[in-house]
């Protein structure tokens, strides 16, 4: 009898010692498992319809609007507020106190009183307090040049310059998308059990997609004409992300493990595919061409980032050349291709990994069900110290170094008192190291290993050395969650926080990473994604390219 619950065959997963290094994490690309892709597939499956019951905008585009949809048996509404922001107050920095637009994703349909409350409070952001009916809080600034240009062209009966649309990619960029109880909004647990909202950052991604549609409506309203569909589809929503996001991957190790495990399992399943049919081969060829165009359109001012993109451009034709008819029709063709490209750059390898996963939704999409987890880091007080020592020897060799050396403890993480946001200080040049946040996981484990006795239990050891409790939990938990730890020293001079940012943002579904330093980046979300009235075609926008 056929076992319908049998797991698909798969190759061995890549080892954590390879996958969980910062350089490789910082080469991540979006995949069909990314949260935006998952959300839009589910919206499409439900034949979701977005309506706009409120549009109270003056000729200049200032006022408010409401968008509503039904998803998983619940109604959600985006309340968008547009204000006239003086040029001298426009900044993407976290110290900003005013923005072009502000948003609340609301649980249900807001009545006039609730709309008035949100219109009053949303533009204040952190300076206001919200309610449990407010699920997500966000704000965004215009891409002033493209927004103004588009308005001017539309008023003249013309479409905006295609090169400018292609190169910019968004009309507005968010500077924060807050969820999970911040400033009084709903805790994730309040709605995580609802159909479709249990995935990681599902509410935030829903808000971002609705915001992107609002930016299209706003520019068309001010310009007095419609954008061409292909231009509108290319205009995503920009985002500026800095250090505030980086510690998340460290403070949520079990969630990180779930995300990486799903992606790596998807790659392992695809590599094990015995043979390809003609449709799959054609799809893979089309995706290779699309990726080449995406790389050609991806330009960044950052010199280091551009060198990496240029190398990918030079290597990608070699990847394509390997995909001969003989290889693609042979036994386990994707495994052969994967192994043949192992000497290419980390960036090219990770792009190829995402590409290989893309055509095989029937094989990998079930993995998204395990990407949200309530699992927590736990302590086993009954474990012997000898067993802990064996775990450290097996899993944590990478953590051992001389942490008194200046380069090994070069920087320290702390939380800004003024903005309550993570920051990074230089230990040997700046004050404040005594307020260090505990993101120095490698150093903590190295100290634990130094003090660990040969005999006794964890309980006995921690009764004498309670300062090692956190490190002990990390060591024990990693035993059952191999992708939970970033296997690099996060206080070393070699740690680039932007690698952590890119890893998380790729899981959101971000593309066109535009690093502004090693501590913050701009990205584009929803570029190429279906518009509010295009959900019937929701799943073919991996690595979007400009279509004229």
Pairwise CA distance, residues 306 & 298, whole Å: 9
Separation of alpha carbons 45 and 37, rounded Å: 12
Q: How many CB atoms lie within 10 A of CB 360?
A: 20
In the chain, the percentage of residues whose pLDDT exceeds 70 is 98
Q: How far apart are CA 82 and CA 102, in angstroms?
A: 7
Which of 76-90, 261-275, 310-324, 341-355 is least confident?
A: 76-90
Confidence of residue 463 (pLDDT cuts 50, 70, 90): very high
How far apart (Å, rounded) are the C-alpha atoms in residues 36 and 30? 9
Retrieve residue 299's tokens: 């330009």
Q: Indicate the pLDDT class of residue 245, thresholds 50, 70 and 90.
A: confident
Mean residue pLDDT across the chain: 94
Please state, in angstroms and rounded to a whole number, the distance separating the CA atoms of residues 446 and 437.
Answer: 17
Tell me the CA distances in angstroms from 174 to 72, 92, 152, 512, 523, one per residue in order: 26, 8, 23, 15, 10
Residues for the chain: how many in total? 548
**Residue position matching structure tokens 């407010």:** 134
| pLDDT score, position 3 | 47
Question: If pLDDT is split at 50, 70 and 90, which confidence band does 211 have?
Answer: very high
Residue 72, C-beta contacts closer than 8 angstroms, at least 6 positions apart: 42, 46, 194, 195, 196, 197
- 497 contacts 140 by C-beta, under 8 angstroms: no
Q: How far apart, in whole angstroms, are the C-alpha atoms of residue 50 and residue 36?
A: 17
Compute the average pLDDT of residues 219-247.
94
Query: Within 10 Å of residue 448's Cβ, how many Cβ atoms?
Result: 24
- Burial label, 225 (beta-carbon count in 10 A; 0-12, 13-18, 19+): middle
Q: Mean pLDDT over residues 217-244, rounded?
A: 95
3-class SS of residue 318: helix
Rounded mean pLDDT of 140-146? 95
- Catalogue the E-assigned strands of 350-494: 411-415, 422-426
Rg from Cα positions in the chain = 24
Residue 492 CA, chain-centre distance (Å), reads 24
Q: Which residue has the higher pLDDT, 537 or 134?
A: 134
Contacts (Cβ under 8 Å, ≥6 apart) of 344: 315, 318, 319, 352
321's tokens = 């050349």
Statement: residue 88 has pLDDT above 90: no
pLDDT tens-digit map of 404-457? 999 999 999 999 877 678 889 999 999 999 999 999 999 999 999 999 999 999
CA distances from 286 to 253, 280, 292, 440 (A): 36, 10, 10, 44
What contacts 24+ positions apart, CB below 8 Å, involve 426-432?
A: 427/491
Task: Give the predicted TM-score (pTM) of the model.
Answer: 0.95
Q: Dihedral of CA 34/36/41/45: which sign? A: positive
Q: Which helix (H) or strand (E) holds 517?
A: none
Lowest model confidence (mean pLDDT) among 5-14, 114-123, 158-167, 222-231: 5-14
In this prediction, residues 250-278 reach a mean pLDDT of 97
Cβ–Cβ < 8 Å for 87, 145:
no
Contact of 339 with 327, CB cutoff 8 Å = no
CA pair distance 448, 391, nearest whole angstrom? 12
Band (93; pLDDT cuts 50, 70, 90):
low
Inform me whether the pLDDT recorded for 92 exceeds 70: no
Give the pLDDT mean for 85-101: 79
Query: How far apart, in Å, are the Cα atoms of 422 and each of 128, 158, 182, 229, 426?
Result: 21, 45, 15, 40, 14
Question: Is the distance from CB of 448 to CB of 482 less than 8 angstroms?
Answer: no
User: What is the distance of C-alpha 34 from the center of its chain?
Assistant: 8
Q: Is the pLDDT of residue 1 over 80?
A: no
Q: What is the mean pLDDT of residues 190-214?
A: 96
3-state secondary structure of 423: strand
CB 445 within 8 A of CB 368: no
């Amino acid at each position: 009898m056929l076992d319908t619950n049998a797991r698909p065959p798969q190759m061995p997963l890549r080892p954590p010692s390879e996958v969980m290094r910062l350089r490789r994490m910082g080469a991540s690309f979006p995949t069909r498992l990314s949260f935006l892709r998952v959300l839009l597939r589910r919206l499409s499956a439900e034949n979701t319809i977005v309506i706009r019951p409120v549009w109270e905008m003056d000729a200049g585009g200032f006022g408010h609007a409401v968008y509503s949809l039904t998803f998983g048996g619940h109604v959600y509404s985006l309340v968008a507020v547009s204000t006239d922001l003086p040029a001298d107050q426009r900044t993407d920095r976290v110290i900003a106190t005013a923005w072009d637009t502000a948003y609340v994703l609301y649980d249900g349909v807001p009545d006039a009183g609730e709309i008035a409350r949100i219109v009053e409070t949303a533009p204040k952001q952190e300076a206001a307090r919200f309610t449990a009916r407010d699920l997500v809080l966000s704000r965004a600034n215009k891409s002033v040049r493209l927004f103004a240009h588009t308005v001017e062209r539309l008023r003249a009966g013309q479409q905006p310059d295609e090169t400018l649309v292609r190169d910019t990619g968004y009309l507005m960029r968010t500077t924060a998308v807050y969820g999970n109880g911040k400033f009084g909004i709903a805790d994730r647990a309040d709605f995580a059990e609802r159909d479709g909202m249990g995935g990681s950052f599902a509410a935030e991604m829903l808000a971002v997609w609705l915001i992107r549609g609002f930016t299209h409506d706003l520019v068309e309203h001010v310009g007095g004409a419609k954008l061409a569909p292909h231009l509108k589809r290319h205009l995503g929503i920009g985002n500026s992300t800095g250090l505030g996001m980086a510690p998340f991957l460290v403070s949520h190790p079990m969630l990180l493990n779930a995300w990486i495990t799903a992606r790596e399992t998807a790659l392992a399943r695809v590599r094990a595919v015995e043979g390809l049919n003609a449709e799959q081969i054609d799809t893979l060829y089309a995706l290779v061409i699309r990726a080449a165009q995406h790389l050609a359109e991806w330009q960044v001012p950052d010199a280091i980032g551009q060198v990496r993109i240029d190398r990918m451009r030079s290597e990608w034709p070699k990847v394509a050349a390997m995909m001969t008819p003989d290889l693609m029709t042979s036994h386990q063709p994707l495994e052969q291709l994967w192994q043949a490209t192992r000497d290419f750059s980390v960036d090219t390898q990770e792009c190829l990994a995402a590409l290989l996963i893309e055509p095989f939704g029937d094989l990998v999409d079930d993995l998204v069900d395990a990407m949200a987890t309530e699992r927590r880091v736990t302590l086993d007080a009954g474990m012997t110290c000898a067993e802990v020592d064996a775990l450290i020897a097996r899993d944590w060799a990478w953590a051992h170094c001389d942490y008194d050396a200046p380069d090994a403890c070069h920087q320290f993480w702390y939380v800004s008192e003024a903005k309550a946001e993570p920051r990074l200080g230089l230990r040997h040049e700046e004050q404040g190291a005594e307020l260090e946040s505990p993101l120095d996981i490698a150093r903590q484990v190295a100290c634990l290993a130094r003090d660990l006795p040969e005999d006794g239990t964890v309980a006995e050891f921690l009764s004498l050395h309670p300062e090692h409790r956190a490190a002990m939990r990390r060591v024990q938990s990693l035993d059952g969650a191999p992708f939970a730890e970033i296997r690099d020293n996060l206080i070393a001079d070699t740690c680039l926080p932007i690698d952590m940012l890119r890893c998380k943002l790729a899981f959101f579904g971000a593309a066109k990473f535009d690093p502004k330093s090693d501590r913050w980046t701009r990205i584009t979300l929803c570029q190429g994604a279906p518009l509010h009235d295009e959900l019937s075609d929701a799943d073919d926008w991996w690595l979007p390219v400009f279509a004229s």
